[in-house]
Amino acid sequence: MNDSAPAARLRVVTREIEAPDELLVFADPQHPTVWSRRGDILVARGTAAAFDSADANPGPREAADWWRRTVAAAEIDDPVGLPGSGLLAFGALPFDPRPDDRADATTPPLHFAVPRFVVGRRGSRAWVTAITADGSDPDAALPVATGFGPHWSATTGPGALTPDGYQEIVRAGVDAILHGDLQKVVLARDLAGTVPADADLRRLVRALSSAYPDTWAFAVDGLIGASPETLVTVSGGTVTARVLAGTIARGADADADTSASLSLATSTKDLDEHGYAVRSVLDALRPSTSSLVAGEQPFMLKLPNVWHLATDVEGELAGDASALDLVAVLHPTAAVAGTPTPNALDEIRRLEPFSRGRYAGPVGWIDAHGDGEWAIALRCAQFRPGDRADGGASMPFTAYAGAGIVGASDPESEMLETRVKFRPIIDALA
């Protein structure tokens, strides 16, 4: 498809409904599309339209242009008017869209699609949206519910990087920082595994959202996780972001937990890493905002398994930029790439023996007003429902976790940090 080709003429109808007890039953068991946080949830099914491009490596800017044309051509009937109602699309974008000539590199393409149905709940209100592209009248009735399949567990093993191999690339990263034009680089490692071929992946989404309710629990095109980091949200002209950089494991008891929190809050290494990440977000957002503020000092964000240094950023949107336009200027941030970003991306490609795919890339949704919620795909795994292993009995997946490396980084400590960050997805897979 040519990027300037006419967009599909979508017809969209949203109607308010009584809130169902369980919304995940309306998702496809093996191809779920879900976005959830603190009880608010969007569940989508089917495809009414999808972004395609003549560009070999399209990014969020190309998707944003397609979305504007799609919205302009759509007929929308949405009396509900809540965030996530009406016309919307879900997206999952690669961390690095540049061509990768490594023989084993398999980067999934940008995914950006409009579903056929969306069932949503925000607070005490719920709705269903139906979308057609064939000129027919949408039927805003609840789609057919599908009961949960049997419980399952995953098998997991080393990926392309063993723990020792990860420590080796951390040493190389520290050396690059001490002897080159680089202040920080984020390095990741992977785990490979399988689940039963008929596994109901909604169970994984439910486990993550239940255990980590303050994160963005997501499932988009086989990418499933629970991210604590907001890349950007846009709502009624207000822009917000949450920067996380600097991590320590929770303590085993109250005293140890307090000690861990204090250690992170006073760590020069982690405060420096956090500062790079905050500055990269502020620099990226300033041209698109009329006002922009960030906390003077990071606060301590407590999750079930870790403490994070966190800073919230808020501003007012200038002009007609959409959430997806801001994704384009923000990604990749220093929190998931490094500083300076171009140099860090080169080091990541040189040191990591695999393609990250969509790990640490943007994942989220956008509506017809340009509002939306986008997170960084962390604490996640990429499933490949179309692939089979073990003679067809299993579906493969790859999970990822990373750590920010600066000149004072200790390789073993950074490896242990990735182990802690693997815990949410690995526990849920079990």
For residue 330 the two structure tokens come to: 């923000």
More confident residue, 176 or 101: 176
What's this model's pTM, rounded to 2 decimal places? 0.92
- According to the model, what pLDDT value does residue 247 have? 86
Residues 6+ apart with CB under 8 A from 296: none
For 208, which DSSP code? H
Inform me whether the pLDDT recorded for 89 exceeds 60. yes
For 19, which DSSP code? P
Phi, psi angles (nearest 5°) of residue 177: -70, -45
CA distance 427 to 29: 20
- According to the model, what pLDDT value does residue 1 have? 41
CA distance 268 to 271: 5
How many CB atoms within 10 Å of residue 406?
22
- According to the model, what pLDDT value does residue 102 have? 57
Phi, psi angles (nearest 5°) of residue 182: -155, 130
Strands (E), 109-237: 111-114, 117-122, 125-132, 155-158, 184-196, 216-220, 223-227, 230-235
Name the band, by pLDDT with cuts 50, 70 and 90, for residue 120: very high
Coil/strand/helix, residue 39: coil
For 55, which DSSP code? S
State the chain's maximal CA–CA distance in angstroms. 63
- According to the model, what pLDDT value does residue 318 have? 86
Name the band, by pLDDT with cuts 50, 70 and 90, for residue 121: very high
Task: Tell me which amino acid residue 139 is.
Answer: D
Inform me whether the pLDDT recorded for 53 exceeds 80. no
Inform me whether the pLDDT recorded for 215 exceeds 80. yes
Nearest to 23 by CA among 129, 136, 98, 114: 129
Phi, psi angles (nearest 5°) of residue 104: -100, 10
- According to the model, what pLDDT value does residue 246 have? 84
Give the mean model confidence (pLDDT) for residues 312-321.
89
- According to the model, what pLDDT value does residue 403 have? 94
Lowest average pLDDT, out of 48-62, 299-313, 345-359, 389-403, goes to 48-62
Name the band, by pLDDT with cuts 50, 70 and 90, for residue 101: low
Q: 358-371: buried (b, 16+ CB within 10 Å) or exposed (e) per residue?
A: bbbbbbbbbbbbbb
Give the mean model confidence (pLDDT) for residues 362-368.
97
Q: Mean pLDDT in the chain? A: 91
Name the band, by pLDDT with cuts 50, 70 and 90, for residue 66: very high
